[in-house]
Structure 1
Amino acid sequence: MPPPQPSQAPGQTLGQTLGPDGRLLFLSRAARMFSYGFLSVVLVLYLAGLGFGEGRIGLLLTLTLVGDTLISLWITLHADRIGRKKMLVLGAALMVVAGVPFALSGDFTVLVLAATFGVISPSGNEVGPFLAIEQAALSQLLPEDRRTGVFAWYNLAGSFATATGALAGGWAAQALQAAGLAPVASYRVLVFAYAAVGLILALLFAKMSGAVEAPPAAIGAPTNRMGLHASRGVVLRLSALFSLDAFAGGFVIQSIVAYWFHVKFGVAPGTLGSIFFAANILAGLSALYAVRLARKIGLVRTMVFTHVPSNVLLILVPLMPNLPLAIAVLLLRFSISQMDVPTRQAYTMAVVAPDERSAAAGVTGIARTTGAAISPVLATPLLAIPALAGAPFLIAGGLKLLYDLLLYRSFQASEVGKSEGA
């Protein structure tokens, strides 16, 4: 069965549907997620190689996400008024601010400051202000009936880039080590590369036109401190639920899962890169099939009915007796894990007014980042205890199932949740 295509005018390609600015947004997404992918495979290995224990590593990952949350909150809430392009360039600069000190210093205090005030991804997933602002810009550039389909392709581009980055990062580190470089030095090369991607992103964002900016009428609309007005209630409800989901996911961010495979089965960096290459490819494809399912059963049902089996599989990963079975279950989980992502993004954009989209995407995104920020400091100490090393998977899967039940109970009766499709 071929993957569904995003809605577009007859004879139009995806690139024509997006236009120049949309293509730049897709390209920036791919470049950013590529860097997140290669960094996430080696980040915890790098920190461990610098001599930090699991407790300190967990604290650093948590502070990284806390800093991203606070900075992203300010940027996304002011993006429509100050300028989306300017804020995207600022976010790219903060990647450089994080990457350069991480590469140059082994001092814990320096790394904490860089992680807190810069933008760095320990998860392989989106961090920083980019996703919220890009979603708002894409929503503005596209007709409503094309939104879910294009969001699916947008997520596919990110997943493929993350997959390629994970593959490249893992095997690059292993090749550098085979050439005689010490493990820590090989990982440091990748951290420098991460900072370089920040510079590339700044150039891409600077090339976008004024069409991505918020409409003038929206800038003058009365809002509260969060940039919301009529949609405040539903956005806060969604934010609370998304925060729970992200808190659960924070126990199994990609860098932690990579470290678990390394410690549990002795998996080398190159093999780790291959595992997460396959995982992210499958995740990206799953987002495409969500479009067709959403047309049939609605956005909320698609979010929940695909998420539940994904979380059951997550719980099963640490229960597998050997590496091949653990990899197989992980990959099966990823094959349906992202079907809720484009539907979640489209649902959020559908239930808010156009002039609230940057703020709504920002608030829900910040809620996710806040939830995810707490988990690593709780998860990493468990990895140091052999009997509890698999506990992060069990905790994450259980909490995610709770999120699914609460989401369905809260929003399944929504008219948009039933009928708003691709």
Structure 2
Amino acid sequence: MQGIHPATWLLAARSLRDFGDAFVAILLPVYLLALGFSPQQVGVIAAASLFGSALLTIVIGFLGAHQDRRGLLLAAASLMVVTGLLMSMVNNYALLLVIALAGTINPSAGSVSIFVPLEHAVLAGEVASLDRTRMFARYSLVGALASAVGALAAAVPELMAGFGLAQLTAIKLMFLLYAVVGVLGGVLYTRIPPGPAGPAPTKPAALGPSRAIVLKLAALFSLDAFAGGFVVQSLLALWLFGRFNLSVSEAGVFFFWTGVLSAFSFPVAAWLSSRIGLIKTMVFTHIPSSIALALAAFAPTLPLALALLLIRAALSQMDVPTRSSYVMAVVSEAERAAAASFTSVPRSLAAAASPALAGVLFAASFRAWPLLICAILKITYDLLLLVQFRHLKPPEES
């Protein structure tokens, strides 16, 4: 398979990973509730998984500037395999909490992952500045489409139940599938050339001249992530189950369409950013999506709530490729892995706090509050981002 661009293998691995993350994000609350745990305990598990991802991402950020990124990606894929195997065998809550903390379970079915800083650094080193945003849009597109298919796969346990298989057994088989996905992703990572992407500096740096910019971005991104943690996909599914008695298969179909809408918003984001800039694209698409989420919190009927959430899905992720591209653009090449990590870690840490709070609100029957809090905080983040960074432009906009 000579001549295939390294980014192609990485995009394929991202697709597999997001496929697995998507069905796990939907099935996780179903699995935990079936084991007899409360919504508050579901929130704690989600928080632990995000907090664990943050800690691992800190380590990855430092190692990514000095170590072979392919080797680190293979190690992360191995951890994904172990996580799936353990989740399929464990029923004890304390042990599940440990697995969530130390493993790769992703309740957000998105970009909160130890894989992300490494993949971002590899991608940024493979393309020119003018093509960078399009590459990140492609990266997000394939991941979102895979997530959409993974959301449909979440209905498999319900289908298996029709053939007499117990629900818990069927979900455990899906965790085994998650482990298989990790194996296949690892095979794809072996196709990436060893060593850091691009020419390595004589003395690799973590963060240098761009430190102040990265720290300011990290602070803002952490606010956005804290807000998003109130409605990670597992908790949004829990809200739909409790508020409208949605079935798992119906939730799978809904999240399929949110994934499709998100996927096709990424090329639009790349096109829009080439005309109005990366920062304006992030802000001017994010605010309407937050308004739709706030309205959904008070929707009296299921069709209206789903319609508003679909509008949100079509807009809310357009900042993903543009944000990734912006971070890679405003730092030096030697700082890229560390910058991706230092902007991801606060996101993961901040996002880890809010699912537990959302679980408490759900348990207390304040079901609309997590969605409303998320919307208000995200709009605040957008306005602050616009004020702070509208004048700091990437090279292609200068």
| 1:173 alignment partner, one of 135, 142, 157 | 157
| 1:25 alignment partner, one of 10, 17, 31 | 10
Counting matched residue pairs gives: 398
Give runs of ≥4 in structure 1 deviating > 4 Å. Answer: none
Q: Kindly indicate whether the alpha-carbon contact (under 8 Å) linking 1:297 and 1:418 is maintained by their aligned counterparts in 2.
A: no
Q: CA separation of 1:182/1:256 partners in 2, compared to 1, >3 Å: closer, same or farther?
A: same
| 2:76 alignment partner, one of 70, 87, 91 | 91
Q: Kindly indicate whether the alpha-carbon contact (under 8 Å) linking 1:158 and 1:284 is maintained by their aligned counterparts in 2.
A: yes
Question: Where do 1:137-176 residues align within 5 Å?
Answer: 137-169=122-154, 171-176=155-160
| CA distance in structure 2 between the aligned counterparts of 1:205 and 1:416, rounded to whole angstroms | 30
| 2:230 alignment partner, one of 251, 274, 280 | 251
- For residue 179 of structure 1, report the CA deviation from its aligned partner: 1.3
Aligned to 1:270: 249
SS across alignment from 2:88: helix
5+ residue gaps, structure 2: none
Q: 2:157 aligned with 1:213, yes or no?
A: no
What's the Cα RMSD here? 1.8
Amino acid at match of 1:208: I
SS across alignment from 1:218: coil
* 183-192 or 29-38, larger mean C-alpha shift: 183-192
Aligned to 2:303: 324
| CA distance in structure 2 between the aligned counterparts of 1:389 and 1:177, rounded to whole angstroms | 29
| 2:213 alignment partner, one of 226, 231, 234 | 234
SS across alignment from 1:415: coil
Aligned to 1:407: 385
| CA distance in structure 2 between the aligned counterparts of 1:307 and 1:339, rounded to whole angstroms | 7
Aligned to 2:176: 192
Q: CA separation of 1:143/1:216 partners in 2, compared to 1, >3 Å: closer, same or farther?
A: closer
Q: CA separation of 1:362/1:299 partners in 2, compared to 1, >3 Å: closer, same or farther?
A: same
| 2:292 alignment partner, one of 297, 307, 313 | 313
Amino acid at match of 1:391: W
Amino acid at match of 2:181: V
Aligned to 1:8: none
Aligned to 1:343: 322
Aligned to 1:129: 114
Q: 2:313 aligned with 1:334, yes or no?
A: yes
CA distances 1:321-367 after superposition (whole Å, capped 9, x unpaired): 11111111100111111111111111101100001111101111112
Q: 2:336 aligned with 1:357, yes or no?
A: yes
TM-score (norm 1): 0.91
- For residue 26 of structure 1, report the CA deviation from its aligned partner: 0.5
Q: Kindly indicate whether the alpha-carbon contact (under 8 Å) linking 2:126 and 2:197 is maintained by their aligned counterparts in 1.
A: no
Question: Where do 1:7-156 residues align within 5 Å?
Answer: 19-156=4-141
Q: CA separation of 1:60/1:219 partners in 2, compared to 1, >3 Å: closer, same or farther?
A: farther
Amino acid at match of 1:164: V
- For residue 129 of structure 1, report the CA deviation from its aligned partner: 1.9
| CA distance in structure 1 between the aligned counterparts of 2:51 and 2:248, rounded to whole angstroms | 27
Q: Kindly indicate whether the alpha-carbon contact (under 8 Å) linking 1:76 and 1:129 is maintained by their aligned counterparts in 2.
A: no
The alignment-based identity, stated in percent, is 38
| CA distance in structure 2 between the aligned counterparts of 1:278 and 1:142, rounded to whole angstroms | 31
- For residue 371 of structure 1, report the CA deviation from its aligned partner: 1.2
| CA distance in structure 1 between the aligned counterparts of 2:298 and 2:178, rounded to whole angstroms | 34
Aligned to 2:278: 299
